[in-house]
Amino acid sequence: MARPERFELPTTKFVAWYSIQLSYGRVNPKLWVSPGGSSSAASRSSFAPCDPRAGSGAFRLPDAAVRMMPNLTLVRQLARACLILALPALLAACDDGERQRVAAEAAAARQESMAAELLRQLEASERDGRPDLARAFAEDLVLRFPQTAAGKSAATRIEALRTAADAEAEARRLRGLWTYHDVEEPKSGGRVRTAYLHGVPASEGLPPLRLVLRRHPEWGQSAYVLVNGGDFACRSDDCRATLIVDDAAPRAVHVSRAQGADPPALFIEKDAEFLAALDAAKTLSLVMPLADGREARYAFEVGGFEIEQLGPPIGAK
């Protein structure tokens, strides 16, 4: 088998000293070209191998290999066509993303605007002394617009607003326990103003009791209790009842019976002192004996009393 000497040295001495490459095959004359371009068998002995490092004209690919190479012009045309086809989709995607960004920014601006309006109403309610409305606006802000600047501002003050609203609700409830009357009495020479409050009995079965405060242009200032469906044990103008103001120790107060009154009534003497204590108190209790022998105790939530509803002081004792 013929092999070019330039590819493998001749074997010397023992073949074990050199490896013999059995993979070499017969030389293909088509892969050998002469410097002049001839590939005939007669000049085969002067052929040079197909070496890429050889000079120009010494290397030529087989025709089959050339046929297998892609047409670069066609590849470029296909690539250009693909780009042209894909370009509208790419531009549409970019345009859609921009529209979404603009829409998101517009929505965020609307949210900020609506939240800012609610915050203005919240602050106006605070200035007007309406913590209940301010709390409602704050809770709406925190629920609907938590990520806006106004929503975050409301979140920092909502607990204080809730506390203030609860306190105002309690004060409103206490004020509602009182009933006021202001009527003109020509025969008495002026206006008669009264305020009254129902007591809460300490035990079942006790008759209803009302505490009445009155300023009368002829009779002066009075504080008394009226009992409905029962009667007091006191029959004179020198009786005693027990008064408890808030958590203070019980103390005796002088009371006197109103003669001929229906329903039965007991006047609390030293009404000016009693009224001053009531105006500063949250609760007070009255304990007095009834005609049936029971000792009746009534509690009054007086914290909502508005003394100005009685008008100017007159004839206090």
User: pTM here?
Assistant: 0.62
pLDDT digits (tens, 9 = 90+) for 141-171: 999 999 999 999 999 999 999 999 999 999 9
Q: Is the pLDDT of residue 288 over 50?
A: yes
> Which pLDDT does position 261 carry in this prediction?
83
Give the CA distances from residue 257 to residues 175, 224, 227, 249, in Å, rounded to whole numbers and listed in that order.
29, 9, 12, 25
Give a three-class secondary structure readout of 2-14.
CCCCCCCCCCCCC
For the residues 8-19, what does the mean pLDDT come to? 49
For the residues 3-17, what does the mean pLDDT come to? 49
Separation of alpha carbons 259 and 267, rounded Å: 11
> Which pLDDT does position 32 carry in this prediction?
44
Separation of alpha carbons 86 and 163, rounded Å: 63
Separation of alpha carbons 302 and 282, rounded Å: 5
Of the given ranges (16-25, 86-95, 107-116, 280-289), which has the lowest mean pLDDT? 16-25
Residue 181, C-beta contacts closer than 8 angstroms, at least 6 positions apart: 192, 193, 194, 195
> Which pLDDT does position 51 carry in this prediction?
47
For the residues 21-48, what does the mean pLDDT come to? 46
For the residues 97-125, what does the mean pLDDT come to? 90
Q: Which CATH superfamily is domain 179-310 in?
A: Invasion associated locus B (IalB) protein (2.60.40.1880)
pLDDT digits (tens, 9 = 90+) for 192-202: 999 999 999 99
pLDDT digits (tens, 9 = 90+) for 165-174: 999 999 999 9
Q: Is the pLDDT of residue 65 over 90?
A: no
Q: What percent of the chain has pLDDT over 70?
A: 73
Residue ranges per structural domain of the chain: 1-69, 89-174, 179-310
> Which pLDDT does position 59 carry in this prediction?
53
For the residues 84-107, what does the mean pLDDT come to? 76
Query: Would you state the structure tokens that stand for residue 28, as one six-digit string?
Result: 């293909």
At residue 256 the predicted structure's pLDDT band, cuts being 50, 70 and 90, is: very high
